[in-house]
Structures are given as C-alpha cells and as structure tokens.
Structure 1
C-alpha cells in the first residue's frame, strides 16, 4: 500500500499532466473508455481544489459554446459589447484543437460569432471551422451569428450543408434607424442583405434566425409584420447590455449609455410583440451569466461583475480548468431556453 504522502504526490503529478496534456489525454481516454476520462477529470478537479479534496461546486458542462474568434467588424453598432480591441485570430489548426477539446468535454452546440465572422479571410476560415465541427466532430448543432453584409451565395454552395442555423442581427426595419445605431456599411442597405440571406437559407437548407437588440432607437417600433414575413425559426430579442471595458467606461471603444432602456421599456416591447410565437426574450438578468463565451484566445469570459474577465486559455490549461473561471450559470442557461431543438435535421422545416 502507498503511504498518504505518496498518494498525494501521485495525485498532484497526474493532475498536472491532465491540465497540460488534456487534448492528448482526451483522445487516449476515448480509446481506453469514457470512465477513464471521467476518472482523470475528477483528479484534475481535486488537485485544483487542494489535493484529496472534493470540489464544492460541480464543473459545468460546456453544452453550448459561443466562440468569438475575431473582434474585427465592418459595422459600428454603438452598443456592441464585443469590440475590436485586438485583431488577433488563432491559426486554424489551434482553433480546431480547442474545438475538439470542447467536444471531448461535452460540447453539443458551437456558435461562431465576432466581430463579424465572415470578415476574416472572406468567410473561408469560418467555413472550414463549420465543416470541421459538423463533418469531423459530428456536433449536433453548428450555428453562426452575422450582420449578413458579407455573406455570398458561393459560401452557401460550399459550406451550407454543414451549417444548422444562421442568425442575422437586425435591430430595425427602418433604414434610418439602422444608420443611427451603426448597423450598416456605407450606403449599402442592411435590409436588402437581410432578405437576400434569408432566401439563401431557404434554398440551401439552413435554419434562419433573427437577433435584435432593443435600445432607445427601436424600443417603440412595431416589427410584427416584418418578422412574420421573414418567418425565422427563432427571433432572439435582447435588452441592450452594458459591459465595462467594451461599450462603457473610460477605455471602451463604444459608448452604449445612450442606448440603454429600462426593464419596463423592454417589457413594453415584449408585450407589443407577444403574439409572435418564435420570439425568445432575453433581459439583462437572463443574458449576463447564462452564456459560455470564448474569446479570440479561447479564454472563457466571466461577465458577473459587469465586465469581461478572462480565464486562462483552454489550450494552455484545459477545458475543465478554464471553465471554472467562466462565471457560467448553468441553471439560468436552461431557464432561459438555452437548450432547444438546434439541429436542422430535427426541425422538420419546410424548405
């Protein structure tokens, strides 16, 4: 029998190896059997909380992850809460390594966002990641959030079969309001782009979704007729959210204070559109801690204190370690309807 000191030392050594080589160990443990992988992860958690101790809170599962792989964007939305503070994008093989690690840790849905995800390499980088996640990782759901301005039919022809959901952000159905918000580039029509992408989604069998941020410029607008015409599978309606260092504060690239609405104003907007069955409302309370956000360095971002505090990169310390610092509220994720029918194969849509 080993002495207590030797057991603790072995625990520590194995735990360190798990943190450093989690990606490699995940593959090995898959071959050995899932129970071995679970065993190793429990050791990692035990070591991080003190040798031999049991963690007081369970590690959340990264069921649904939002990967903001770029911060660059061609729009200037005044309330943007993930701004172009860097131009960094991971090399694609490193990004794939991280995505595989997330899959091995329980990820079922990946959402690619930005910035504008179609901006980097004219959408080819994004397309390769979409294909990798669906074809090689076999994720049940792969989705994108875009402003829709840079998407081409050629992209759909090449990558559309691997994409489950495409969400286009649209805050108003009045061009002048979009211009006030900053949701356009030059004199190009954001609404023309929206309808063009919507038609491609039908043609290439991609579920279409609309995201709207409700703010001082659109809170009185009635969007019912336009949403019915677009007929998205989901219409996500967000209350404008302030994040220190992103769209508020001395060093922020955006100043969102002028866009902020009250809870009562947000509820009035929801009441006006309550007959829209695909509407999914998200107040500041629901939104702040219920998303797993991965930044361009593959660091989880903790928004609990009203700012984005990054963990260490999952590429450096592993998913299980990094996610402990994500601030993720798994119960709120489920309460707000974060888990839904998100594979287009299960949607039974009329294309």
Structure 2
C-alpha cells in the first residue's frame, strides 16, 4: 500500500511533553466495534469484561543516549539493539565524521570503538573495559526520550521516573512501552476487582521504532530486529483465556508484536525467544490478540499502519481526526486508545 495513505495532520500543540498526573487520569478513546466513546484510562475496567487478560511488556528502559567526541567532532549515539556482552548497535548523530575503528570518548571513563557501519546508517559500538555496559550507561548515559520530545525540551530528572512503566523489570529497552505508562497500582486493583487479570512478557524496544518509513510502498519497508521472550507459562495462560471465551488485550504495540510473532496459524500461542522483525500493515490476519490498548502514533509510521490493520484504515483516520478535534494528547506521553475490533 502507498505510505501516503497513512498520513494525517497533527497540530504541534497536540504533542504531549509530559505525562498526565496521576498517570491513569489520561484520556481514553474507546473504539469498540463500530462505536466510539470518550473516557479516561481510570475507567478501563468498565470497558473490559470479566475474564479478559491484559498483556504488559516488562522491559526496562536503559539510559541509552550518549554524547561524546571523536577528536574535535561531537558524536551522539543512541543504542538500539544489543549485539553481544560489550557491543550494541547504535544510531549515530554526525556519523559522517566517523571511520571504521574510531574510538569515541563519552566521558566518565566510558569509551567505545565504532565498527561495521550498516546500510541503515547504524554502527556497532564495542565498549572498552570490563565493567558491565549497564554500569557504564548509568554513569554516562541519558534517558532516550523520543526525538519529538527531545527536540522541544531537555531530558531532566523527572523523565527517569516518568519514562518507566510500573512493570519495568528487565533492562534492555531504549524506548518505553508507552501504553503501560498509564497504569497505576490503584488502576490494577480496580481491574483485578472487575475480573480482569494480567501477565507480562519481554520485548526490548529499539530506537528503530521512531525511524520514519522512507519507502513509498509498505511492502518495501524493512523493520529493525528487536529481541523478545514469551515463556511457556505465559503462552499457556493466553491459550487458556481464549479457550474459556476471554479476550487477550495487548497493552502496547510491543506486546502485540511479540504475541503475534509467537502465534501459530491456528491462533494458539507458543513459547518464543529471539529476534522479531514482524511488520503489521493492512491485510495482516491477527492470530493471537483480540484487542489493543495503545497511545496515538505518528503519521506515516509503522505503528499507525498496525492500528489500521487492526481496525481498518478509514476507521483509524476518522478516530484520529476526532482525537485531534477533541484535544487528545499524542505520542509517548500522551493519551491512549482502546481498540476492540469486531470478532
């Protein structure tokens, strides 16, 4: 499909620079079949059914943005995927000043050697020394806010907490699974009281999620690989919920993509561990999920293509137009939508 079909106009003042406070006070646009309703995330239990199961991503964001120098040249790096115990693939700012084998000094006694430039412009950074890379990043790294926020304000101490979900446990993401940012202990208690349970899986979100689609046709777009794990116990739980007539609701596109990567042709879920490059666009047949809670996404993005595949492109274009008109806040720190397609 032509990528232009997934474009829409978004005023700059609709881009949220801070999350709602409290988190579950964010607004929630509910698309349930053909109906549309304006609600709040705190009302989520009323929009779901007893027996439904929410699936959260328990990845934890690491301080993956680094600022350094190669000689007199300023070099910025955003890590996006671990390649080994001391190596990460990274998108480089001012990469034209790098040559294969150059060392970059990121300060705080953190250095890395750049090698193996990929076709997408990313480099392999291999960190010097014997300390775990996570410790090096804690010393020299910064929280990797999305570019549409970072371009408008600096990262600060609030972001260290604001850009982590209450489920964050497994370090490795360089972007937050932002749909889960809306959840609080109070909201989880109300969901449990309503008979809505939850499980977690892990998908380490990469910075590639923010890259624009440069191809003119969706068929020509190449996704970046991300590592995920869905264990056998979680797979069995998902299968049991659906067998009993409940719905599996992915919280975030990251959870959805991992579930779909683990889904068999008959709709059952198998255990999964490894890389996934799954790209979901209109025409895709969903096998493992029955609904999605997600934030509002960028125009022409793979994530807007994903929600269009789930609900229909015209339906989502109309829903986003309504959200803009009604003052919903967009992107990572913005409001949410609950998408429940007709069975």
TM range (shorter): under 0.3
Structure number with greater CO (CA < 8 Å, separation at least 6) is 2
Query: Higher helix fraction: Structure 1 or Structure 2?
Result: 1
> Which structure would you say has the larger Rg?
1
| TM-score, normalised by the number of residues in structure 2 | 0.26
| TM-score, normalised by the number of residues in structure 1 | 0.26
Query: Higher strand fraction: Structure 1 or Structure 2?
Result: 2
